[in-house]
Structure 1
Amino acid sequence: MEQILLIDASPRAPHSNSHGYAAIFMETSRAACTYIALRKNDLTQTVQKIERSSDIIFVCPLYVDSLPLPLLELFQKIEHSVMTQKPRIHVILNCGFLEPWQNDTALASVRLFCRQNGFRFGSCLKIGGGEAILRTPFRFLVRHKIRQFSQAVRCENFVELSVTMPVSKRMFLRASTRYWIRYGKKHRLTREQMTTSANRVEGK
């Protein structure tokens, strides 16, 4: 029987945007679905659940142009595990950038993992503006793409899809700057303090 396991690999799971994308998938999928939030102390149990599934969908954000640490740790656990059954692997990636192609490096990492460990790679969905799009009038665009993604997974007609907000980069930057300034004020941080912190991280 077809059994899809959605693994939310966001460090903020289950209180994450990735959880929102997983929830939409479960609403639109006709197959039996199970959602789990990835936890470091549950990696052995997660590998066992993966082996019992027909399809795995990793749902995660982009972190420094790469996959988040929880997913990389799971990949390492899988590489050192003996699995008698290896399900198909799919991925939904979201990034804070407007351009969906910013997810390409992380996507390539998943494809490489599959190739090196004998998993069949299926479909992918790359989401741009992933930190915001679910809270905008463009939410319907994501739902439509996830519905297409869900159908591709079910029918084994594997595709590479992408979606973002149909706004100019200038408008996106203005809106995102306003959001982060409000977020900083909520935590008693000024714009100057946030800029200083960002420069320190970048080594400037």
Structure 2
Amino acid sequence: MKIALIHASPKAADSASGILLELLSSRLPREAVVLRTALHTSSVSPQALEQLREADLWVFSFPLYVDSVPGHLLSCLLNLEGLKPKRERRVYGIVNCGFYEGIQAEPALLLLQNWCRKAGLIWSGGAGIGGGGCLTHFPSIKEGRGPVAGIRKTLQVMADSMMQGKQMENSYVSVGMPRSLYKLAAEMGWRNQIRTNGGRTADLGKRPD
């Protein structure tokens, strides 16, 4: 089985979307042929197009943008509608969001499901990951432990479903830390970011006139 792991974040490096694909890949058996496919811009490259043609199964991984898919990915999806599969092709989705609650990714997964129907593909379920913004800051953690343990379990269910050729129920999970701690870490990140860009923390509360 050839599996296209589609990194569809506009951020090519150090992205939560990429980390989640690597976590999923580590759960696939050796006999699975993994094609790492990049969709970082609004056009589908010839290399990506060839990989998608070859693959039996697609997995999209991307960040939530305003309760939907990133704009560049929407353009790619429109371009891929004409790529009619010669055989049944299953599609899974992984959506990470800055919100703590993974359920916030539900509208984006529904959009992907509707697109599959239009494109003649088999929607097979997805995962909404809450607290995705902090995934790039975690060190390597032993299997089954730490704040990523619940996410790993969800991705294991996805990997098993993929290899068995069956649909999974949409699953929503949050990073394993208290909501209050996640909120505090996010606020610290905003303060550091505005200082790095020459602003003041007091400006974070400004509103347009």
Partner of 1:71: 73
Please tell me whether the aligned partners of residues 50 and 87 of structure 1 are also in contact (alpha carbons under 8 angstroms). Answer: no
Please tell me whether the aligned partners of residues 142 and 163 of structure 1 are also in contact (alpha carbons under 8 angstroms). Answer: yes
2:46 matches 1:36: no
**1:158-177 matches, cutoff 5 A:** 158-159=167-168, 160-177=170-187
Q: How far apart are the structure 1 equivalents of 2:105 and 2:204? A: 25
Partner of 2:86: 84
2:18 matches 1:19: yes
Partner of 1:154: 163
Instruction: For residues 12-54 of structure 1, give each alpha carbon's deviation from its aligned partner in whole angstroms, at most 9, with x where no partner exists.
Output: 0233111111111111111221212214454444333212111
**1:38-187 matches, cutoff 5 A:** 38=39, 39-85=41-87, 87-133=89-135, 135-136=137-138, 137-159=146-168, 160-187=170-197
Q: How far apart are the structure 1 equivalents of 2:46 and 2:66? A: 27
Please tell me whether the aligned partners of residues 58 and 90 of structure 2 are also in contact (alpha carbons under 8 angstroms). Answer: yes
Q: How far apart are the structure 1 equivalents of 2:196 and 2:161? A: 41
Instruction: For residues 136-179 of structure 1, give each alpha carbon's deviation from its aligned partner in whole angstroms, at most 9, with x where no partner exists.
Output: 54023222221221111111232122211344443332221112
Instruction: For residues 70-106 of structure 1, give each alpha carbon's deviation from its aligned partner in whole angstroms, at most 9, with x where no partner exists.
Output: 2211111112445434521111110000111100111
2:16 matches 1:6: no
Please tell me whether the aligned partners of residues 27 and 159 of structure 2 are also in contact (alpha carbons under 8 angstroms). Answer: yes
Segments of 5+ residues of structure 1 without an aligned counterpart are none
Greater mean deviation of Cα atoms: 57-66 or 22-31: 22-31
User: Which amino acid is the alignment partner of residue 185 of structure 2?
Assistant: A
Please tell me whether the aligned partners of residues 43 and 74 of structure 1 are also in contact (alpha carbons under 8 angstroms). Answer: no
Higher percent of residues as helix: 1
Please tell me whether the aligned partners of residues 132 and 175 of structure 2 are also in contact (alpha carbons under 8 angstroms). Answer: no
TM-score w.r.t. the length of structure 1 is 0.86
User: Which amino acid is the alignment partner of residue 160 of structure 2?
Assistant: Q
Q: How far apart are the structure 2 equivalents of 1:165 and 1:48? A: 35
Percent identity between the two aligned chains: 23
Q: How far apart are the structure 1 equivalents of 2:27 and 2:104? A: 26
Please tell me whether the aligned partners of residues 133 and 164 of structure 1 are also in contact (alpha carbons under 8 angstroms). Answer: no
TM-score w.r.t. the length of structure 2 is 0.84
